[in-house]
């Protein structure tokens, strides 16, 4: 089924196996295939993102738009928005995926008044609902763009301008309503302007209080309207602000705990944001996981030699396998998924390129899932880890874990023993060799 003709020259992307050299086929992603008792599709829950893929122009801070799409008429009108909605669903369909996700401003333009802006959004949402029914494609999550318009330049819910705060309340309320209407499974906050450019002119205590209040209002409103989606916060250390409040997973978790919001939120971890914060991607996943807050993933990659958000499509199988190991330990992402918050390079100007980009990203994670499953089924690495901690499974270690010790009793134990048993080797290189053997 096809809503438009724009991709008629592109074949439906299907699984052909690792030997295929067809650039328009999956070599690893076989949606229905069972891995560890669940279909690949169910593990991976890929989503196409509206912003980069359908609103990205290739502009960067030093140059203008390079990407011209044949369906665009050069306007940011509601008509164009509705037409574009059909193209998007066709694209997702071509890829054989099941989810999309968007910000309010990706899909519908602002109007002259807030009232008109809201109306524009609902016009497009209506088309989405129709297209969802027609295609079986679902909404992974919705969110409000509270960072692009100049009014947000100094913050959204952390703005010094109380009117802007009220404006944001309207945005989130409407997008919660829209997300509910479209059966969206999550609602995301990314605080692109929630931070500061200079501490000299910023009252961070006051701003953080406003942020906490705002999130509470969103939680309360969701409850009121019966929205059962998962709330997610997406950490990022900086850019566009000098310093964002949601620096990394631990920062967000700490903030949520302090604001008594932690039961209502999980985290949406992005690869490129992790590395900008000085953490490996898997570190952020693990931090979220061990705190019970791993919710969803922005599947992209950064360039570790560059200090900004390059938002490239994932292509490092090893990094993604690390990630999938964490996700499998988390028993999957629940209502969350893997959305491609990634953009083709600005000189990848062919329409085919955004197929190549998605196919590559999809296959890298699919391959990573296969490898991670093998690692887990083998049990070799897990066994080595268990051995490494075996002193905690008996004797004094076990007693500590059971809460039977204090400093005095532990001192007594070690004084009697005279000194500590020597450490076993950490064997990091062997761990690395074994891990490498799965690739």
Site residues (CB under 8 A) for a second copy, limited to 387-416: 388-389, 391-392, 395-397, 400-401, 403, 405-408, 410-411, 413-415
Choose which of 10, 80, 114, 376 interacts with a second copy (CB under 8 A).
114
Characterise 17 by phi-psi region: left (phi > 0), alpha (psi -120 to 50), beta (else). left
Backbone angles phi, psi at 419, to 5 degrees: -160, 170
User: Alpha helices, DSSP H only, in 53-202?
Assistant: 78-95, 104-107, 114-135, 162-181
Contact status, residue 238 vs residue 192, Cβ threshold 8 Å: no
- Residues near a second copy (CB under 8 A), total: 158
Backbone angles phi, psi at 415, to 5 degrees: -65, -40
C-beta separation of 243 from 276 below 8 A: no
State which residue, 377 or 432, has the beta carbon closest to a second copy.
432
Of 3-11, 42-50, 110-118, 122-130, the segment contacting a second copy by CB under 8 A is 110-118
Q: How near is the Cβ of 403 to a second copy at its closest, in Å?
A: 8
User: Can you name the residues that pair with 63 across neighbouring β-strands?
Assistant: 60
- Judged by CB under 8 A, the residue of 47, 88, 125, 164 near a second copy is 164
CB neighbourhood size of 167 (10 A): 18
Lookup: tokens for 357 = 């980009």
Q: Pick from 240, 167, 254: which is nearest to 208 by CA?
A: 254
Q: Which of 2, 4, 66, 135 binds a second copy (CB under 8 A)?
A: 66
Give CA–CA dist 36/326, Å, rounded: 14
Q: Of the listed 90, 106, 248, 298, which one is catalytic?
A: 106
Residue 216 CB, nearest approach to a second copy (Å): 9
CA-based nearest residue to 270, from 339, 186, 324, 211? 339
Nearest to 237 by CA among 246, 228, 229, 225: 246
Nearer to a second copy, 134 or 414 (CB): 414
**Binding status of residue 377 toward a second copy by CB under 8 A:** no
- Which lies closer to a second copy via its Cβ, residue 58 or residue 332? 58
List the Cα angle 6/344/107 in 5-degree steps: 60
Q: Give me the least distance between CB of 364 and a second copy, in Å please.
A: 7
Nearest CA-CA partner of 410 in 392, 394, 397: 397
Does position 205 interact with a second copy (CB under 8 A)? The reply is yes
Cross-strand partners of 148: none
Q: Decide if residue 305 touches a second copy (CB under 8 A).
A: yes
Candidates 76, 303, 377, 379; binder of a second copy (CB under 8 A) is: 303
Report if residue 379 touches a second copy, rule: CB under 8 A.
no
Identify whether the C-beta of residue 155 lies closer than 8 Å to the C-beta of residue 164. Answer: yes
Identified catalytic residue from 52, 103, 210, 273: 103
Which of 9, 70, 133, 429 touches a second copy (CB under 8 A)?
A: 429
As a dihedral over the C-alpha atoms of residue 301, residue 303, residue 308, residue 311, rounded to 10 degrees, the angle is: -30
Site for a second copy in 267-286 (CB under 8 A): 275-280, 282-283, 286
Q: Which stretch binds a second copy (CB under 8 A): 95-103, 119-127, 129-137, 307-315?
A: 307-315
CA dihedral 9, 10, 14, 16 (to 10 degrees): 80
On the 0-12 / 13-18 / 19+ scale of CB atoms within 10 A, 101 is buried
Is 106 annotated as catalytic? yes
Angstrom CA distances, 276 to 236, 237, 249, 375, 382, stand at 8, 7, 12, 28, 29
Among 7, 13, 27, 324, binds a second copy (CB under 8 A): 27
Q: What is the contact mask toward a second copy in residues 231 to 270, using x (rule: CB under 8 A)?
A: ------xxxx-xx---xx-xx-xxx-xx------------
Nearest approach, Cβ of residue 367 and a second copy (Å): 9
Is the CB of 127 or the CB of 193 nearer to a second copy?
193
438 contributes a contact to a second copy by CB under 8 A: no
Stretch that binds a second copy, among 2-10, 34-42, 63-71, 90-98 (CB under 8 A): 63-71
By CB under 8 A, name the one of 208, 332, 334, 376 that touches a second copy: 208
Residue 139 phi/psi, 5-degree rounding, is -90, 115
Q: Is residue 418 a contact residue for a second copy (CB under 8 A)?
A: yes
- 5 tagged catalytic: no
Among 221, 332, 334, 376, binds a second copy (CB under 8 A): 221
For a second copy, the binding residues in 70-109 under the rule CB under 8 A are: none
The nearest distance, CB 395 to a second copy, in angstroms, is 7
Q: Is residue 271 within 8 Å of 301, Cβ to Cβ? A: yes
Closest CB 213 distance from a second copy, rounded Å:
7
- If one asks whether residue 362 binds a second copy (CB under 8 A), the answer comes out as no
Residue located via tokens 């998924």: 337
Q: Which residues are catalytic?
A: 103, 106
């Amino acid at each position: 089924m096809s809503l438009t003709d724009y991709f008629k020259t592109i074949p439906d992307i299907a699984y052909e196996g690792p030997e295929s050299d067809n650039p328009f086929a999956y070599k690893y992603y076989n949606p229905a295939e069972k891995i560890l008792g669940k279909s690949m599709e169910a593990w991976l829950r890929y989503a196409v993102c509206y912003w980069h893929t359908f609103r990205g122009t290739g502009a960067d801070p030093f140059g203008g738009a390079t990407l011209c799409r044949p369906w665009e008429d050069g306007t940011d009108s509601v008509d164009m928005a509705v037409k574009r909605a059909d193209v998007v669903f066709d694209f997702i369909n071509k890829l054989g995926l099941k989810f999309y996700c968007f910000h309010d401003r990706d899909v519908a333009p602002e109007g002259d008044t807030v009232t008109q802006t809201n109306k524009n959004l609902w016009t497009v949402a209506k088309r989405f609902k129709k297209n969802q029914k027609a295609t079986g494609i679902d909404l992974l999550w919705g969110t409000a763009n509270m960072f692009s318009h100049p009014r947000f330049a100094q913050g959204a819910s952390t703005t010094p301008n109380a009117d802007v705060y009220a404006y944001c309340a309207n945005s989130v309320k409407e997008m919660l309503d829209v997300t509910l209407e479209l059966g969206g499974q999550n609602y995301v906050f990314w605080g692109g302007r929630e931070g500061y450019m200079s501490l000299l002119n910023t009252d961070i205590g006051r701003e953080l209080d406003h942020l906490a209040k705002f999130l509470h209002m969103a939680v309360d409103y969701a409850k009121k309207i019966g929205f059962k989606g998962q709330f997610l916060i997406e950490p990022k250390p900086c850019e566009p602000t000098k310093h964002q409040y949601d620096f990394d997973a631990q920062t967000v978790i700490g903030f949520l705990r302090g604001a008594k919001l932690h039961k209502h939120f999980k985290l949406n971890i992005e690869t490129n944001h992790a590395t900008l914060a000085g953490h490996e991607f898997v570190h952020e996943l693990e931090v979220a996981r061990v705190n019970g807050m791993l919710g969803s993933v922005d599947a992209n990659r950064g360039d570790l030699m560059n200090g900004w958000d390059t938002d490239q499509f994932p292509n490092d199988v090893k990094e993604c396998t690390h990630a999938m190991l964490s996700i499998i330990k988390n028993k999957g992402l629940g209502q969350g998924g893997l959305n491609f918050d990634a953009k083709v390079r600005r000189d990848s100007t062919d329409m085919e390129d955004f197929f190549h980009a998605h196919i590559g990203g999809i296959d890298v994670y699919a391959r990573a899932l296969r490898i991670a499953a093998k690692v887990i089924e083998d049990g070799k690495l897990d066994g080595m880890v268990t051995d490494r901690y075996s002193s905690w499974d008996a004797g004094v270690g076990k007693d500590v874990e059971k809460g039977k010790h204090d400093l005095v009793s532990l001192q007594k134990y070690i004084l009697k023993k005279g000194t500590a048993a020597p450490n076993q080797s950490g064997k990091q290189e062997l761990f690395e060799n074994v891990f490498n053997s799965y690739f």
